[in-house]
Amino acid sequence: MDDITFAVLGTGGIGRRALEVSQHKDHLTPVAACDRHGTAIDFDGLDVDELLAATEGNIDNEVATDGGERTEGSRSSSELRSDGGSAATAADSDGGVKQHGEDRGVVASEQARPSEDPIQDVIDHGDGIDAVLLALPNYEHDFIPRTADRFVEGGYSGVMIDVLKRSRVIDMLDERSETFEDNGITFICGAGATPGLLTGAAALAAQSFVEVESVDIWWGVGLKSGYEDNRGTVREDIAHLPEYDIETARALSDEAIEDIIDDHDGVIEFEDMEHADDVLLERAGVCDAEDVEVGGILDVRSDEKPTTTTVRVTGRTFDGETATNTFQLGDATSMEANVNGPALGYLKAGVRRNRAGEYGVFGPAELMPGF
């Protein structure tokens, strides 16, 4: 495979880890990274070590408090879209961006410069970017589709890839499928640990069967040392509890989140989650969405996984047997490892599809052998 250049939108937990993991990958060169306040672009390849060191602790948690209390001077995520609003430079905000450098967010890196419209900076350099990883997990649910619209308007053609879990975002992307096809965009959605890695495993495990009866996805995440870096993900998980949805979870204050965690003694169990795994497996023709169940256990007070992440695919073979194929992740693999490795793996697969002229919207399971 030829060399691949990629950009990361968002330098929070996922964006930073994706940059770090990419250093271990052949043929993968990060050339752009941005957050709400600035952009780093270097087509010779970003100096990832410098960028990560300068932005250590750089977690933009602000949008998570949208609708809850807002820090005076903090700004909404709409700034990243820069609809002609006022400048959001490193100097004028003391919002939710936390980092250890002298400056705020990515501009703490000497490779970055402040920008009024960081995403437009990336779009303007789109000709040299094979793939764009949207590492923006916690914005409003139409943020990624509308970001894709901006790339279309800016004439971008290439791969766009997200690690979201939400079925409704996929529906919104699907509405844009024809536009993507017309513009040479291959959009890979849900390409992290789940749905990404685990639906991919389910699609492969299904190959023994002529009919899949059920897919049972059960995950365990221990997040003690990574809790601060992954508050957005925890909030998103809380949105899956029966009492909440994505809007009400987004409206929770940090204190309310902590209260929920305390109520569960730090260990929250999820059943029957509205995860995109089901629609992505149905898209790939593996089974009906209703035959997919997703649940798991999150422990924010231990790094040990509270349960082993397991995918069970039960089906009928052509010769009439019923059996279950199983895929398990080692307990020592962190959530970050299981999100970012697959994200970059699917990014590579997406670039291959894109270069071969396959455009539109794809779930990870659709990149597996056909069922």
Known active-site residue 240? yes
Distance of alpha carbon 43 from alpha carbon 221, whole angstroms = 36
Answer for the pair 18, 105: CB distance below 8 angstroms, yes or no: no
Rule CB under 8 A: say whether 369 interacts with its own copies. Answer: yes
Q: Please, is 238 exposed, middle or buried when counting C-beta atoms within 10 Å of its C-beta (0-12, 13-18, 19+)?
A: buried
Residue with tokens 């990404």: 196
The active-site residue out of 236, 275, 336, 366 is: 236
Q: Which of residues 16-55 bind its own copies (CB under 8 A)?
A: 17, 20-21, 24-26
Distance of CA 219 to the CA centre of its chain: 17
Rule CB under 8 A: say whether 181 interacts with its own copies. Answer: no
Q: If you compute the radius of gyration of the chain from its CA atoms, what whole number of angstroms results?
A: 20
Known active-site residue 236? yes
Reading the block at residue 297, the tokens are 């256990």
Of residues 343, 359, 297, the one with CA closest to residue 136: 343
The active-site residue out of 37, 240, 305, 348 is: 240
- Which residues on adjacent β-strands are paired with residue 131? 6, 159
Pick the stretch among 36-44, 65-73, 85-93, 361-369 that binds its own copies (CB under 8 A).
361-369
Nearer to its own copies, 13 or 114 (CB): 13
Distance of alpha carbon 63 from alpha carbon 10, whole angstroms = 12
Residue with tokens 């071969």: 356
Residue with tokens 């040299």: 128
The active-site residue out of 165, 275, 305, 348 is: 165
Residue 211 CB, nearest approach to its own copies (Å): 7
Count of residues near its own copies by CB under 8 A: 59
Number of other residues whose CB lies within 10 A of the CB of residue 360: 18
Pick the stretch among 44-52, 83-91, 122-130, 323-331 that binds its own copies (CB under 8 A).
323-331
Distance of alpha carbon 160 from alpha carbon 149, whole angstroms = 11
Nearer to its own copies, 38 or 200 (CB): 200
Pick the stretch among 56-64, 99-107, 232-240, 318-326 that binds its own copies (CB under 8 A).
318-326
- To the nearest 5 percent, what fractions of the chain are helix, strand and coil? 40, 20, 40
Distance of alpha carbon 187 from alpha carbon 200, whole angstroms = 16
Q: Which of residues 246-305 bind its own copies (CB under 8 A)?
A: 285
Evaluate the CA torsion angle 369, 310, 174, 32 in order and state its sign: negative
Q: Which of residues 191-220 bind its own copies (CB under 8 A)?
A: 197, 200-201, 204-205, 207-211
Rule CB under 8 A: say whether 233 interacts with its own copies. Answer: no
Residue 368 CB, nearest approach to its own copies (Å): 8
Rule CB under 8 A: say whether 73 interacts with its own copies. Answer: no
Q: Binding residue for its own copies (CB under 8 A) from 153, 178, 182, 321?
A: 321
Where in the sequence numbering do the catalytic residues fall?
165, 236, 240
Q: What is the contact surface with its own copies in residues (CB under 8 A)?
A: 1, 17, 20-21, 24-26, 197, 200-201, 204-205, 207-211, 285, 314, 317-319, 321-334, 336-338, 340-342, 344-349, 352-353, 356-358, 364, 367-371
